Amino acid sequence: MTQPAQLPAQLSDSLALLEKAISDACRAADRPRSEVELLAISKTHPAQTIVEAVSLGLHLFGESRVQEFASKATVLSVSHIPGFTPTVRSQMEVHFIGQLQSNKATKAVEVFDAIDSVDSLRLAERLNTAVSDSVVHTKPMPILLEIKLSHEASKTGLTPGSTELNELLDRLPTLRHLELQGLMTIGPLDVPEEETRACFRALHTLRGQLAQQRPRLNFPVLSMGMSSDFPVAIAEGATRIRVGTALFGPRENN
Ligand SMILES: *Cc1c(COP(=O)(O)O)cnc(C)c1O
């Protein structure tokens, strides 16, 4: 019997391939696999896909729209994997990775476990207030600062050496409801690998500089690398990669 040529890939198959690629990249970089977290980017994909991903053992997820994930979360909060009592949502840690308008800070704090794309002082202040007012969050909200390192990449992010980044870093120790965990960047798309590598290396270097200048702050996390460039990111020290397409297939729109 012959198989149809274009069967959609099974999530378990793409996860196995991805795991192999991550392990290979870690081995090539002489780093333990345990140093690199996989953030599964489930944006645009339905709640059912997330349930399947959780049943395959994934637990870290990234989403880029507040309302989209709020809708999925209502489903996930009543979904169970056969044989498991806890809800699917309670087995997930969901990170916001998109552009967040300050006026959506309260809603974002309600539905997410971490905000990985803080790109302004104003947003950080709004998030701090929202967490402080929240009945859901009893602990500080983990955050990453999004850094803009290349012109080709996203328009958002804080520029190294800028007044705003410095002010934000000065303020962070007083924003007690936020817990800075590190830096995040989006690499340039469709450029030669060496440009991508330079961008990731620059984030790693910046982390070292900031950690030295700001002993009251901690920067353990370097979130960099997506489907097309995660091996380079792992080689350059990523501790968290954000993979969507290589796991869940192409998105209809972004
Ligand atoms: C969509 C998105 C990703 C995942 O991109 P893929 O190329 O599908 O792996 C990673 N990071 C951010 C910030 C995104 O918006």
Global pTM reads: 0.94
Nearest atom of ligand 1 to the alpha carbon of 246: 9
The answer to the question of residue 1 being in a domain is: no
Chain segment 118-139, per-residue pLDDT in tens: 999 999 999 999 999 998 888 9
Ligand 1 pocket, residue 10 CB under 6 Å: no
Ligand 1 pocket, residue 88 CB under 6 Å: no
Q: At what angle do helices 11-28 and 47-55 cross, to 10 degrees?
A: 60
The answer to the question of residue 254 being in a domain is: no
**Percent of the chain residues past pLDDT 70, beyond the cut:** 94
The answer to the question of residue 253 being in a domain is: no
Confidence of residue 141 (pLDDT cuts 50, 70, 90): very high
Mean pLDDT to the nearest integer, 177-196? 96
How many whole angstroms separate alpha carbon 201 and alpha carbon 181?
18
Q: In this structure, which residue's CA is closest to atom 6 in ligand 1?
A: 244
Cα atoms in the Cβ-side hemisphere of radius 13 Å centred on 148: 17
Q: Count CB neighbours of 169 within 10 A.
A: 18
Higher pLDDT, 151 or 199: 199
Cβ burial, residue 67 (10 Å; 0-12/13-18/19+) = exposed
The answer to the question of residue 3 being in a domain is: no
Cβ–Cβ under 8 Å, residues 64 and 96: yes
Q: What range defines the domain where residue 228 resides?
A: 8-248
**Residues in a beta bridge with 37:** 240
Q: What is the CATH number of the domain that holds 24?
A: 3.20.20.10
Check residue 148 and give left, alpha or beta (phi > 0: left; psi -120 to 50: alpha). beta
The answer to the question of residue 195 being in a domain is: yes
How many whole angstroms separate alpha carbon 175 and alpha carbon 16?
40
How many whole angstroms separate alpha carbon 251 and alpha carbon 232?
23
The answer to the question of residue 54 being in a domain is: yes
Please determine, for residue 8, whether its predicted confidence score (pLDDT) is greater than 60: no
The answer to the question of residue 2 being in a domain is: no
The answer to the question of residue 150 being in a domain is: yes
Q: How many domains does the chain have?
A: 1
Please determine, for residue 64, whether its predicted confidence score (pLDDT) is greater than 70: yes
Mean pLDDT to the nearest integer, 76-104? 93
How many whole angstroms separate alpha carbon 49 and alpha carbon 243?
15
Confidence of residue 1 (pLDDT cuts 50, 70, 90): very low
Residue 84: predicted pLDDT = 79
Please determine, for residue 2, whether its predicted confidence score (pLDDT) is greater than 50: no
Q: How far is the CA of 39 from the centre of ligand 1 (A)?
A: 10
Mean pLDDT of all residues in the chain? 93
Mean pLDDT to the nearest integer, 66-95? 94
